[in-house]
Amino acid sequence: MYELHTDNIKRFNNIPLSVLDTSPINEGSSAGESYKNSVEVAQHVEKWGFNRYWLAEHHNMPGIGSSATSVLIGHIAGATKRIRVGAGGIMLPNHAPLVIAEQFGTLESIYPERIDLGLGRAPGSDQATAQALRRSLHSSGEDFPEQLAELQAYFSPDRSARVRAVPGEGLEIPIWLLGSSGFSARLAAKEGLPFSFASHFAPAYTLPAMQLYHQNFRPSKMLKEPYAMLGVNVIAAETDEEAEWLATSLQLQFLSLASGSTPTKFQPPVKNMNDYWSPGQRSIVEKTLDSFSTIVGSPETVKEKLEKFISQTRANELIINTAVFDQKARLRSYEILSEMMD
């Protein structure tokens, strides 16, 4: 049976809070500096009672430093003591399942009972990058269930298998399925696995995906009841105005994606977003960063909106993405959340 490791930690409204990180590379900075920042955030949120620290796989994006996700997980785990560290997630179609089993078997062997393996089926990149990753351009992710089964088999203690994952074989590493649509919700329910939904950039699909997961869940030897962790963008500051200013960096990041322009490093906040987007672009970005799951404001505003989000979604856990340019302000945002936890 999976041990989801939610004991002896702080909670907000009786549910654990965790952290999602992409190791953003700021304009004028470097990947090396972003990794130092990630370590600092991980050490602080561990002290403040957060449950997990997950890193996301993305490629060919100058503003995201977490492309070598397994390597960075080891770096963060080595710099912390208690907090669980994992992938949110590994894009399995980009990799041979055997390699992922060996990598996470290694991580679990070095940092026992602290490693999580979240799996997604999207490439996390464009077609040219997918080809550079040696991923088949004809794959639509429909073979993801077969890849998942292959990976799970490598973790099983079957020493008679012709190909074995060493290390990895026989280790109980929690596997989560990640998604931004109904596909992974259904698969996680069918397999009896914990599920993490990307509400922070797919708010419109959050409630339907949660409904699918709960209605179709089948208890398994790994999990008796459904367990869902939802992604939320949270930027907290002393005032609503300061938080909204800090949030323009996140808006600029998504504007770049929406406009199809060449990706850049993570940008500093700006005074007026109307100088950067057209009405149509604003509509697209605000639809993606909907106020339902992108929560920006003072402690009072953030607390009220988080409570509403939890009550509407039936989330068992929240994983918080705080995309803020200034490191001190980013740390302060997580500290404000910690002050709300019991």
Burial label, 314 (beta-carbon count in 10 A; 0-12, 13-18, 19+): middle
- Residue type present at position 146: E
According to the model, what pLDDT value does residue 311 have?
95
Going by CATH, does the domain composed of 17-340 fall within 3.20.20.30? yes
Helix-then-strand count for the chain, H and E: 12, 9
- Residue type present at position 98: L
Mean pLDDT, consecutive 10-residue stretches, the chain (342 aa), reads 66 97 97 98 98 95 95 98 97 94 98 98 73 64 90 90 93 96 95 97 95 97 96 98 98 91 93 96 95 97 97 96 98 98 92
According to the model, what pLDDT value does residue 97 have?
96
Secondary-structure percent of the chain, ordered helix, strand, coil, rounded to 5: 45, 15, 40
Q: Which residue has the tokens 């970005």?
A: 285
According to the model, what pLDDT value does residue 133 have?
78
Q: Which residue has the tokens 């550079």?
A: 132
The Cα-based distances of 308 to 124, 128, 188, 299, 342 in angstroms read 30, 41, 25, 14, 18
According to the model, what pLDDT value does residue 136 have?
59
Name, in order, each residue with C-beta under 8 angstroms of 132's C-beta and a sequence gap of 6 or more: 60
Question: Helices in 233-272 by DSSP H: which ranges?
Answer: 240-246, 248-259
* Domain parsing of the chain, residue ranges: 17-340
